[in-house]
Chain A
Amino acid sequence: MENEFLKNRFHITRRHFLGKLSLGLGSVALGSLLIPDLLKSEYDDVPQISGLPHFAPKAKRIIYLFQNGAPSQLESFDYKPLLNKMTGEELPASIRMGQRLTGMTSGQAKFPLVGSYFGFKQYGQSGAWVSELFPHTAKIVDELCFIKTMHTEAINHDPALTFMQSGAQQGNRPSMGAWLSYGLGSENKNLPAFCVLLSRGRGNGQGVYSKLWTNGFLDSVHQGVQFSSSEERVLYLQDPSGRDRESTRKMLDNLAQLNSLNYKEFGDPEIEAKVQQYEMAYRMQTAVPELSDLSHEPDHIIKMYGADCLSPGTYASNCLLARKLSESGVRFVQLYHQGWDQHDNMVGDMPLQAQDVDRATAALVLDLKQRGLLEETLVIWGGEFGRTNYCQGDLKKKNYGRDHHPRNYTIWMAGGGVRPGIVYGETDDFGYNIVRNPVHVNDFHATVLHLMGLNHEQLTFKHLGRRYRLTDVAGKVIHDLLA
């Protein structure tokens, strides 16, 4: 009898079932009203580029001191005393682990380890190791955040350089500066958001080319503007003889009208970009002379950067100009200093290279600091990969060379919300492999964008049917590097 009742209770008629079902479905429908993009694909919305950081930024500007050619980490900041003990001995197979080499040393019968010819000491309260070649950098180690475990995917200069600059090894993507110009716009409308300064040292050099500061598929206003190494830092800014500023203005106004007619007809965004470029060039006629005027630099500033800072085209003068550009609101100042490719003659070349950059680099950091700008300016120093712990070619008594080594290299960052006075990451005693806390180039990019207040996953651009990022499909922010 009880069971009959029970059965009756469970006995659900079709009408009853459908009634309940409709109630249930109704609830689900009600709930779905709360999800605005339920039927849209996750990526359907074109992200609104507002020209503003996604969240409160730590750094507002970047000065990237790119050391082109790959300075040796083993002669600069990654101290490996074991290599000095084992100089001349063969690189153990357990360390090399059959990893790939460049064509320049893959044919070598022997891989003799070689220690740094130059001495190391610890400096500052953080106790970072710095080689004797960088006495001025040594004085500011407590401002710096060394990353000893950068690693990259490319083993030759061009792809590695391109990877470091654009997050891809092939040169068709926008450079870092272009992405920042796209994401954050220009602080100062009278100067480009992305400026490029070149210099070459006395060591064996590698080329730099304009694809490194390309806008890629972004609007061409985001392209890096290369400054000249001559005294006239931007060419053709002076009014031509016989024409005054006012007639230039009139000419530009009329030209803009013609261009806007053209734009209405063809709708090509490059026409608009061009008009904007003309306008900026016009304003740069006033802004740039203000920058290249050194008469207001106190004498001790010149001493700080070294006398070379008065000779246009030197690394020191580029550092000084970088500070002035950055101070004037240029979002991204990219320096390239060539000559760090020490396949041989490490003992001869490396001191010259270090001498060229050491003083001015330290001066730049201190100069920013004493103006109260270091907190909002991120300074980055480093190359595209590292150098091998074994000698390329014959190991001579007093000289040696090192080949390309993408598995670990050292860079440093300062200011702009980076944690000062730390050494991040650990390489093995042979300086060949990463033991702890690797930082991939994508991670580096993600972290830099994070410091600038940008989420690297949200800074995207749709091109050829898919969305691209500086970090493409990888990269994570390394929070340990943040202050």
Chain B
Amino acid sequence: MMSLNRIALNVIFCIQILLVFLLIAGDRIVLPAWLQVAGRLHPLVLHLPIGFLIFLAVIHLFPKHVDKDSLQRLIHIGLVITSLFASIAALFGFFLSLQGEYGTDALMRHRTAGVLLSWFCYALLLLHRVDEKQRFFYGFGALTLVTLIVAGHTGAVLTHGQNFVLAPILANKELTVENASVYEFAVQPILDRKCFSCHNEVKAKGGLVMTSIDKFKEGGKHGKPWVEGKPQESRMIKAFYLPLSHDEHMPPDGRPQLTPVEISTIEAWIKSGADFEKKLNQFADGDSLKFIVASFAASKSDAPVEEKTYSFSAASGDVVEKLNTPYRSVFPLFKDSPALQADFFLKGSFQVEFLRELNSISQQLVVLNLSKMPVEDKELEFIATFTNLENLNLNFTRIEGTGLRTLEPLANLQTLSLAGTSVKAGDIEPLLSLPRLREVYVWNTQIAEAEREALSKKYPDVTITGNLFSDSETLKLGKPRLENDGVIRKGELISLKHSMPGVVIRLSKDKTDPDSIKSDVYDKPFPATESMVLKAKACKDGWFCSDVLKATCFVEGIAPVNVELQSKADVQYPGKGAEGLTDMQKGFADILKEPSWLGYREGPFSTNFDFGKSISLKSIVISHAENIGGFVFPPQEVEIWAGDNVREMKMLKQLKPVQPTGYTPNGVEALPIPLDSGGSYRYYRVVARPLAKLPTWHNSKGERGWLFVDEVFFY
């Protein structure tokens, strides 16, 4: 007997220490499965200490029936048993709490009370042995009983919920949008959470009582908290928006603050007149309060759906792995989820077999995306075997709709996408009564807008989305595109393109804007003999003609044998030096740092071109950049010199190019210089001076301009 007693005492001691340790270790603990079973025994074991402890209390009511000595022995044995089971219950309870199926606050309270009870029982047992006179024993016993009640109650709240016992008499009807006013449904719960704790009949901070509607309307010592229809002027709203550090900010710093959605709800309520009676359906359709409340009435109803769990088991990793090919991806929706998604790619390689192979995961397949695959109606029967399918994407498949009826067994289907197929209204109707179907997409199908509306009305639970875009506006076409790249070589044809089917391209080669009726129609690529400015635009019925494409075509000319710079380019923009001027590499007007460009600012561009023998030129074209924002202008003045000896050249031509008169888009421009002298020379020199002063309309008027040259052509 005594050894049993000692074993029991030591076991109790061990469990107490273990409990302390577990409390400290907290959530770092991972329970093996067999201990989870022990945890689940907690609701069974916990009744034993309750019974024993109450028995020990009750037995004192019968002092005459038990002699004193026996009573003490009985109490001792009773306490050992109580304490032992209290410890075990606490330990098991701790294991159960780690399986995490309960709300944390209530759980924490119960856990604390349970562990305390286990310690108190042990302490009571020790006290009984030590405190011979039992001066503290009965007081401590009473405390233990109170703890028992607390632990028992908090535990019951966990299993049965709040107010389980009194619920039948308290019977509070649940507020819904239908039965409650918007104030009761949407506004009061916010005030309850964030304001009532200080502004109630008992506390009434600032004299304001919000719990009763009448007193709320009266307001506090500063008067009424709102001005109907004017949230900006309402005291309450101002208090929400004041900086947190401000004394008048409500709720005060340190208290739970209102969320933006809560504030906008109250604002909208005041804006629509701060009415306490009106129900949601009495508000006008465009009212923002209605919009806000309706949205969270919806979110309220589906709030508990947190993480979806599935009852079926996962497919083996091998099976899933094997199903993955370049044409088909199969993967779980997320880590450790048994639910699978299958996507198909590369319509050109699709084979019906690829779809059929999914039968090994017919249980687990939840999302199936066959978008753009050449799937036909006859496959739908097979798809209907995926009993857990929730999301089926058949956009732009070859489905015609006749087979849709076979999808009726898909009781879990929630989303069905049929955009871009040729389904008809009659085809989808049988599916619209599927129990869980919520979204159907029928844009770009045979279903007319009126049919879609009729179906939406008939099946209000399903959102049927059709064409969302309507615009009667006439739009402008995009510009045609010049297909040639860089310098046009001898014999190369100039080619224009436009991606819109059915457009007519009109063009002009004389710098005038093309006319949509009179100008030449571009029908085939054409040759170019000299650098020219090409203008083209595209037109089509039902569209406005495009903006004019302006392209400067540079055509390959006579190549000099040697080029020599007479003046150095700016150190920042040396380009490729002399050879860059005849290498047929064009630059972009936006990127002047690239090696195609030679930049000049302080001095003129001056270069000698040696043709090896005397030749006669008709014209010279300087290719230069225009980037007005970047101070890059055409040259202020150009001179052409020529001669058979570098030291003895004469000026053939002098010219002042036309300067832009305002900001223009950046571009590479051709500056043609016609030579009418007819003479024949070996050397030609091109001198071009940068603009000395930017014009008055420029943001940086008066500053020195830049000249950028990438090529010079000779014809």
Contact = CB atoms under 8 A, between A and B. Distances in A.
A55 to B, nearest CB: 6
Given A6-B132, A35-B29, A52 B345 contact: no
Given A35-B25, A286-B346, A54 B335 contact: yes
A242 interface: no
A434 to B, nearest CB: 11
B261 A311 contact: no
A19 B13 CA distance: 12
Given A126-B291, A290-B348, A422-B260, A189 B17 contact: no
The range of chain A's interface size is 35 or more
A2 B133 contact: yes
Contacts of B546: 307
A377 interface: no
| Residue of A188, A304, A307, A363 most packed against chain B (CB within 10 A) | A307
B693 interface: no
Interface in B1-47: 10, 13-15, 17-18, 21-22, 25, 28-32, 35
Contacts of A35: 25, 28-30
Given A287-B345, A311-B481, A329-B329, A50 B335 contact: yes
B241 interface: yes
Nearest to A29: B21
Contact of B469 (A363, A372, A375): A363
A125 B288 contact: yes
The range of chain B's interface size is 35 or more
B334 A23 contact: no
Interface in A430-483: 435-437, 453, 480, 483
B243 A24 contact: no
Interface of B is mostly: loop
A10 B130 CA distance: 8
B260 A425 contact: yes
A480 B347 CA distance: 40
A424 B31 CA distance: 42
Interface string B391-419: 00101100000000000000000010101
B334 A290 contact: no
Contact of A31 (B21, B329, B346, B481): B21
A303 B334 contact: no
B475 A307 contact: yes
Nearest to A56: B334
Contact of A52 (B35, B299, B329, B332): B332
Contact of A370 (B130, B343, B419): B419
Contacts of B149: none
| Residue of B443, B468, B546, B629 most packed against chain A (CB within 10 A) | B468
A300 interface: yes
A31 B337 CA distance: 31
Interface in B223-256: 241, 243
A422 B25 CA distance: 43
B478 A370 contact: no
Interface in A359-414: 363, 366-367, 369-372, 375
B331 interface: yes
B535 interface: no
B477 interface: yes
Contacts of B396: 296
Contact of A371 (B130, B333, B334, B417): B417
A283 B326 contact: yes
Contacts of B543: 307
B699 interface: yes
B545 to A, nearest CB: 11
Contacts, number: 184
B268 to A, nearest CB: 9
A27 B326 contact: no
A370 B467 contact: yes
B444 A31 contact: no
A453 B334 CA distance: 8
B21 A27 contact: yes
Given A28-B21, A436-B241, A286 B349 contact: yes
Contacts of B347: 290
A438 B465 CA distance: 35
| Residue of B17, B32, B332, B395 most packed against chain A (CB within 10 A) | B17
A366 B337 contact: no
| Residue of B28, B32, B345, B467 most packed against chain A (CB within 10 A) | B345
Contacts of A367: 469
A92 interface: no
Given A9-B129, A24-B17, A30-B18, A306 B475 contact: yes
A371 B443 contact: yes
A5 B132 contact: yes
Interface string B414-429: 0101011000000000
B130 A480 contact: no
A328 B469 contact: no
B260 A435 contact: no
Contacts of B14: 23-24, 26-27, 30
Given A189-B329, A296-B396, A372 B465 contact: yes
A371 B441 contact: yes
A55 B307 contact: yes
A426 B241 contact: yes
Contacts of B348: 286, 290
B466 interface: yes
Contacts of A363: 469
Nearest to A200: B590
Interface string B497-532: 011100000000000000000000000000000000
Contacts of B439: 372, 375
Contact of A307 (B259, B419, B478): B478
A188 B345 contact: yes
A204 interface: yes
B178 interface: no
A125 B439 CA distance: 22
B586 interface: no
Nearest to B415: A372
A18 interface: no
A329 B132 contact: no
B623 interface: no
Nearest to B21: A31
| Residue of B439, B467, B469 most packed against chain A (CB within 10 A) | B469
Contacts of B64: none
A37 interface: yes
Interface of B: 10, 13-15, 17-18, 21-22, 25, 28-32, 35, 129-130, 132-133, 241, 243, 259-261, 286, 288, 291, 295, 299, 307-308, 324, 326, 329, 331-335, 337, 343, 345-349, 371, 393, 395-396, 415, 417, 419-420, 439, 441, 443-444, 465-469, 471, 475-479, 481, 498-500, 543, 546, 590, 629, 663, 665, 699
5 A-B pairs closest in CB distance: A310-B499, A370-B443, A27-B17, A372-B441, A372-B417
20 contacts: A10-B130, A23-B17, A24-B14, A27-B17, A38-B28, A54-B334, A55-B334, A57-B333, A189-B324, A189-B329, A200-B590, A202-B665, A286-B349, A290-B348, A329-B329, A366-B468, A370-B466, A370-B468, A375-B415, A436-B260
Given A188-B343, A300-B469, 18 more contacts: A27-B18, A28-B18, A34-B22, A34-B31, A37-B28, A52-B335, A53-B334, A55-B334, A56-B333, A56-B334, A187-B343, A189-B326, A290-B348, A294-B499, A314-B478, A371-B419, A372-B417, A422-B260
Interface of A: 2, 5-6, 9-10, 20, 23-24, 26-28, 30-32, 34-38, 50-57, 125-127, 187-190, 200, 202, 204, 283, 286-287, 290, 294, 296, 298, 300, 302-304, 306-308, 310-311, 314, 327-329, 344, 348, 363, 366-367, 369-372, 375, 421-422, 424-426, 435-437, 453, 480, 483
